[in-house]
């Protein structure tokens, strides 16, 4: 940029030029050449409303974020730029440090027009309508985040993998109702769950986002000769650190997850043939007329054949739906057992199905374990762990069902007391923002699993099944 101070018309023309060309803005104001990946991010930010960026360490995502912060302040009026992150120290030491350093490099004409403080940058003319600030993203301050509104309302969510879902769904997404919003999620992809993960992997929302992926090879300082040493520093190509911090890809599982995502993905890719001598089992997880779904899982040996989902049904209505489905099912594929979570309202559903003459097994999730009581606290812990062992056998097939996959990969467990305890359902619901209905329905099928689980089941059995005794 010329040292000469532009007049008003020249300034207006220059701002208009910068508005259309962020790489030129970066070159003229800061004398930096953006990399190809940084240019891709800049163009997405200029033209799009919702952008999600995952990447390795060192490919320049923090630097391009600070360029975009200054571009927003200089090329827009009535603009508020908010930078959210899960840790204040990280924001201060990375993004805000870069903001301050770029300010010091500006042409005096622009530099003198802004006040830069410890947490806030504001234009000296009308500071209340043109400013940027960093703030903590915490589920305990969702209400304060919810009140952010402006004509040009731009939000960067740094280290999005570590930001609670409540912050996104309860606050940040609200800005999309403003006249010109931009919401940018940017992070090392450190978790295989959560809202940031779902912007990439959940078919229900992923199409709403412009997705940009950067790896260490996109770094401005990338050197092929030292790349092999970098791989060794991160423990080799099979490690979680290499996958997330070098490739910029999501881990295959959360570290403390009950069921590893590697095995879940293997089960999705598998093609299995169920054994002819093992009957079909249905697992029913009933729900009332509220927000949760009633889900029926159909499992034949090592393969899930499908799910049925009903919403808003009372127990009697649900009972008739299941009975009708049973009657429509060809006899060879009818279940030997319908295993029902008979806790609470499920007890009424189980009773109705027995009255209809269907083969029902009542499983009480909060009840005493029926197998290896020394290992589990409750039936729920037992069934989820047995479902885990089933999936980890690597000889099973499950559908490519985004909700099921997330529900299987999300729960954690604790065995510090000597007994396996699966994460409380309330906590799972809080993190998923819904009940794990599909995973629960699958787990219930293991209340009447293969004969290797030697336990006695009882049900009303008006229909005779060949060779069924081995499963009793």
Check pLDDT > 50 for residue 394. yes
**Is residue 241 assigned to a domain?**
no
Residue that wins the pLDDT comparison between 275 and 288: 275
- pLDDT of 3: 58
Quote the tokens at residue 15. Answer: 């701002």
- pLDDT of 87: 87
With bands split at pLDDT 50, 70 and 90, how would you rate the model's confidence at 444?
Answer: very high
Examine the domain organization and report whether 270 and 217 are in the same domain: no
Instruction: Average the pLDDT over 116-144 and give the result.
Output: 90
274: left (phi over 0), alpha (psi -120 to 50) or beta: beta
- Domain final position from 223, 249, 272: 223
CATH number of the domain residue 378 falls in: 3.30.420.240
* Separation between Cα atoms, residue 52 and residue 398, nearest integer Å: 28
Mean of per-residue pLDDT scores for the chain: 87
With bands split at pLDDT 50, 70 and 90, how would you rate the model's confidence at 10?
Answer: confident
Check pLDDT > 50 for residue 460. no
- pLDDT of 90: 86
**Is residue 230 assigned to a domain?**
no
Instruction: Average the pLDDT over 191-211 and give the result.
Output: 92
Residue that wins the pLDDT comparison between 469 and 415: 415
| Cβ contacts of 375 within 8 Å, gap of 6 or more | 369, 382, 385, 419, 420
CATH number of the domain residue 167 falls in: 3.40.50.300
Examine the domain organization and report whether 295 and 398 are in the same domain: yes
Examine the domain organization and report whether 271 and 412 are in the same domain: yes
- Domain final position from 223, 244, 271: 223
Check pLDDT > 50 for residue 75. yes
Examine the domain organization and report whether 325 and 429 are in the same domain: yes
Examine the domain organization and report whether 337 and 190 are in the same domain: no
**Is residue 251 assigned to a domain?**
no
Q: What is the pLDDT of residues 33-63, one digit of tens each?
A: 999 999 999 999 999 999 999 999 888 999 9
Examine the domain organization and report whether 204 and 333 are in the same domain: no
Instruction: Average the pLDDT over 198-218 and give the result.
Output: 94
Examine the domain organization and report whether 208 and 269 are in the same domain: no
Beta bridge partners of 50: 183
Examine the domain organization and report whether 172 and 300 are in the same domain: no
Examine the domain organization and report whether 380 and 265 are in the same domain: yes
Q: Quote the domain boundaries for residue 149.
A: 8-223
**Half-sphere CA count of 14, side-chain side, radius 13 A:** 17
**Is residue 235 assigned to a domain?**
no
Quote the tokens at residue 120. Answer: 């806030």
Q: What is the pLDDT of residues 84-103, one digit of tens each?
A: 999 888 899 899 999 999 99
Examine the domain organization and report whether 177 and 325 are in the same domain: no
With bands split at pLDDT 50, 70 and 90, how would you rate the model's confidence at 107?
Answer: confident
Q: What is the pLDDT of residues 250-268, one digit of tens each?
A: 876 555 578 887 889 899 9
Nearest partner of 402 among 252, 200, 257, 185, judged by Cα: 200
The secondary structure of 207-252 as a DSSP string is GGSEEEEE-GGGSTT--HHHHHHHHHHTT-TTSHHIIIIIS----S
- Domain final position from 223, 249, 270: 223
Q: What is the pLDDT of residues 210-221, one digit of tens each?
A: 999 999 999 888
With bands split at pLDDT 50, 70 and 90, how would you rate the model's confidence at 452?
Answer: very low
**Is residue 18 assigned to a domain?**
yes
Examine the domain organization and report whether 215 and 296 are in the same domain: no
With bands split at pLDDT 50, 70 and 90, how would you rate the model's confidence at 408?
Answer: very high
Examine the domain organization and report whether 273 and 422 are in the same domain: yes
3-class SS letters over 329-360: CCHHHCCCEEEEECCCCHHHHHHHHHHCCCCE
Residue entry with tokens 């007890």: 347
- pLDDT of 455: 32
Instruction: Average the pLDDT over 199-207 and give the result.
Output: 92
The tally of domains found in the chain comes to 2
- pLDDT of 291: 65
Q: What is the pLDDT of residues 340-376, one digit of tens each?
A: 999 888 999 999 999 999 999 999 988 889 888 888 8
With bands split at pLDDT 50, 70 and 90, how would you rate the model's confidence at 454?
Answer: very low
Q: Which of 26-35, 51-60, 106-115, 427-436 has the lowest mean pLDDT?
A: 427-436
Check: CB of residue 154 under 8 Å from CB of residue 182: yes
């Amino acid at each position: 940029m010329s040292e000469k101070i532009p007049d008003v018309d020249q300034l207006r023309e220059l701002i208009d030029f910068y508005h259309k060309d962020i790489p030129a803005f970066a070159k003229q104001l800061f004398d930096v050449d953006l990399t190809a990946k940084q240019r891709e991010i800049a163009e997405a930010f200029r033209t799009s409303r919702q952008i999600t960026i995952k990447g390795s360490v060192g490919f320049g995502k923090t630097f391009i974020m600070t360029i975009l912060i200054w571009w927003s302040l200089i090329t827009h009026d009535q603009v508020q730029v908010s930078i959210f992150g899960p840790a204040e120290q990280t924001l201060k030491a990375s993004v805000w440090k870069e903001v301050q350093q770029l300010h010091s490099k500006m042409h005096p004409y622009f530099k003198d027009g802004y006040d830069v403080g410890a947490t806030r940058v504001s234009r000296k003319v009308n500071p209340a309508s043109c400013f940027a600030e960093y703030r903590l993203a915490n589920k305990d301050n969702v209400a304060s985040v919810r009140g952010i509104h402006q004509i040009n309302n731009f939000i960067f969510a740094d280290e999005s993998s570590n930001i609670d879902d409540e912050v996104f769904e309860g606050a940040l997404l609200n800005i999309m109702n403003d006249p010109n919003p931009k919401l940018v999620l940017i992070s090392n992809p450190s978790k295989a769950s959560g809202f940031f993960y779902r912007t990439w992997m959940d078919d229900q929302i992923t199409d709403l986002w412009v997705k940009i992926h950067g790896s260490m090879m996109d770094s401005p300082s990338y050197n092929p000769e030292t790349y092999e040493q970098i791989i060794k520093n991160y423990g080799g190509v099979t490690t979680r650190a290499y996958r997330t911090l070098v490739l910029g890809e999501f881990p295959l599982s959360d570290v403390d997850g009950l069921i590893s995502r590697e095995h879940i993905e293997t089960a999705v890719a598998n093609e299995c043939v169920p054994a002819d001598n093992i009957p079909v089992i249905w697992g029913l997880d009933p729900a009332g007329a509220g927000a949760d779904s009633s889900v029926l899982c159909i499992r034949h040996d090592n393969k899930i054949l499908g799910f049925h989902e009903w919403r808003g049904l009372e127990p009697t209505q649900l009972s008739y739906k299941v009975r009708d489905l049973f009657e429509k099912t060809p006899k060879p594929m009818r279940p030997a057992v319908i295993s029902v979570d008979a806790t609470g309202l499920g007890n009424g559903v189980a009773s109705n199905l027995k009255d209809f003459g269907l083969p029902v097994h009542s499983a009480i999730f909060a009840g005493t374990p029926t197998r290896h009581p020394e290992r589990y606290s409750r039936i729920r812990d037992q069934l989820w762990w047995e479902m885990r062992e089933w999936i980890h056998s690597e000889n099973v097939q499950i559908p490519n069902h985004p909700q099921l996959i997330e529900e299987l990969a999300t729960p954690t467990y604790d065995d510090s007391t000597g007994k396996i305890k699966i994460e409380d359902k309330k906590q799972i619901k809080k993190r998923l923002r819904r009940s794990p209905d599909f995973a629960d329905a699958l787990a219930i099928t293991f209340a009447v699993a293969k004969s290797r689980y030697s336990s006695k089941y009882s049900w009303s059995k008006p229909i005779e099944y060949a060779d069924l005794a081995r499963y009793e």
